[in-house]
Structure formats: structure tokens, C-alpha cells
Amino acid sequence: MALHQACEQMFGTRQPFDYLACPVCGALQMARMPEDLSAFYPPGYYSYQTGANARWRQILRRWRNRDLWQGHWRSSAWQLLQPFDNLLALQGLGLQRQHRILDVGCGQGQLVLALQELGFKQVLGIDPFAEASAHVRVLAIEHLAEGNWDLICFHHSLEHLPDPLATLQVAVLRLAPRGRLLIRVPTVDSWAYRYYGPHWVQWDPPRHLYLFSRQNMQRFAELLDLRLVWLRDDSTGLQFWGSERYRQGLPLQGYRPLRGQRLRADWRARALNRVHQGDQFSCLLQKKS
């Protein structure tokens, strides 16, 4: 296996980490896992930031999520704001409000809260590093007793796990008959990975322990005896402005691009998605019975 090295850059520590590349599918896996992963998820880590939202921001968020869920996003002024990609990814899945939905690696549970506000009653988020709340439990899926979920989501959480295949095997056991897995992950099968190399923003060592290829995700589906319903690129402009920050030796934490910069980058990302060169994809896997 080829050895690759990349440095931690989100917080600017520049600590190097080695990764091994699969000679068959090109996926990357960290060569030596850190003993204490929690040390790399400080309070400022973006997944856990909630902020002191003012009342008007909460109202705008609810309006945005309602319009997005009803399919009005593309034709509305909400495009001027940052979309909620995790909720957008659930569109078109035919979800009903009685369906049981589990969000694995949910951070502070923003998706769970949004779904509850949209009328979903049986929604739960789990995350071993988050703070417990009314809609988030602090545990890994291996320790979750409940099963029979209609949909289990891994929104950019699977790449943080030391053995993603083993975790997915547990998830399959928690699915209802004909239940589905929605997986969204970064991919090395991308223009951004080839162009930026170790400065690619979604490499993100040491938090990303595993970086997927399309081929190895298809292999996972076979090993799990699941049907691969679809696999779609859904990358964003982060691959451009985030990677450029890293290439300049600047940390990403606390940085927000200008609106025009973000919109131009998102336009470029959509162009890459159309030719299957985006730096992340989502895939839907379903139990065969």
C-alpha cells in the first residue's frame, strides 16, 4: 500500500499523520489511529457549535427548513443563504412523518430538531462526543438498544470512525425490513483531492480516519448484502475556498467566506458534481427484504 501524509490544518496545529491507500480502490485509511480521538474534537469544533441564536434567527431557520422540505429552495431567495445540506439530502426519499429516523454522528442534533419541527415524531440523534439533550444521546450506535429504524443517516460521520464497515454492519442490524442507510462522505475520487493533495480541505486529519472511493462504497454494499439504490455527487464550494485557505497555510476554524465567493464556489462545485468529480457523494443503500 502506498503511504501518504497530510497535516492537521483546521486548527492550525500542523501535526502530520500518515495514511495508507488501497491499491485496488484508492480509498485512504489512517495508518495509525490516535489513542484518544476526543482530544481532536475541542469545544470549538464546528459540529458542536450551536451559538446563542436570537429569536429572529430561529424563525428564519424554521421558514428556510419548511420551504426547503416543500421543494421551494431552488426558486426562492433562500439560495442567498447557506442551505441546510443534511435536510436537503433527505428530499426525494419519500419519508413520511411516522417513519423512524436515526442520525448517527449528529453533533448537536440540528437535523433532528429540524425534522421534529417539520412534524416527524420518531427521530433520534446519537453522537459519542456531543452533549446530551432532549433529542441527542451521547453514545455510539453499537450501544443503542433500539432497532427497527426506517432510515439511518450518516451525514459526514462515517469517515470519523476507525472501522466504518463494522459500524455499518451494526447499523444494518438496527434497520427495519426494507430499511435504508443514507451515507454522505468525502471521496478521493475527485478533482479537489487530485489538485490540492494534502491541502484538500476534506482530508481533515486526524478527524477523518477513512476517505472513501466510489468503488469501495460499492464493495461495502455487496459485503453488507444491501442494494445500492443510487450514488450521487453532492459537493459544495468548501472544496475550493477551504482548500485555498489550507494551501496558504491558514486555519479554517472561525473563517467564513464572503457571500459572492461562496456562491461562485458553489457554482463550480455543481459543475464538478455533474461530471462525477465532486469531492463528496451521498449514497442510498436498502435492505433487500
Residue range 234-270, pLDDT digits in tens: 999 999 999 999 999 999 888 889 988 999 999 999 9
**DSSP classification of residue 129:** T
Cβ contacts of 261 within 8 Å, gap of 6 or more: 237, 241
Q: Which CATH architecture has domain 2-46+55-287?
A: 3-Layer(aba) Sandwich (3.40)
Out of 143-152, 197-206, 211-220, which region has the weakest mean confidence (pLDDT)? Answer: 143-152
The domains of the chain are located at: 2-46+55-287
Does this model's pTM top 0.75?
A: yes
**Which residues, other chains included, contact 247 with Cβ-Cβ below 8 Å and sequence gap of 6+?**
196, 199
Which alpha helices (H) appear in the chain, and where do they start and end?
55-69, 85-88, 110-117, 164-173, 191-196, 214-223, 238-247, 259-274
| Most confident residue range from 3-17, 139-153, 180-194 | 180-194
Q: What is the mean pLDDT of the chain?
A: 87
| pLDDT tens-digit map of 95-112 | 999 999 999 999 888 899
Q: What is the pLDDT of residues 121-173, one digit of tens each?
A: 999 999 987 778 877 898 999 999 888 999 999 999 999 999 999 999 999 99
Exposure of 161 by Cβ count < 10 A (0-12 exposed, 13-18 middle, 19+ buried)?
A: buried
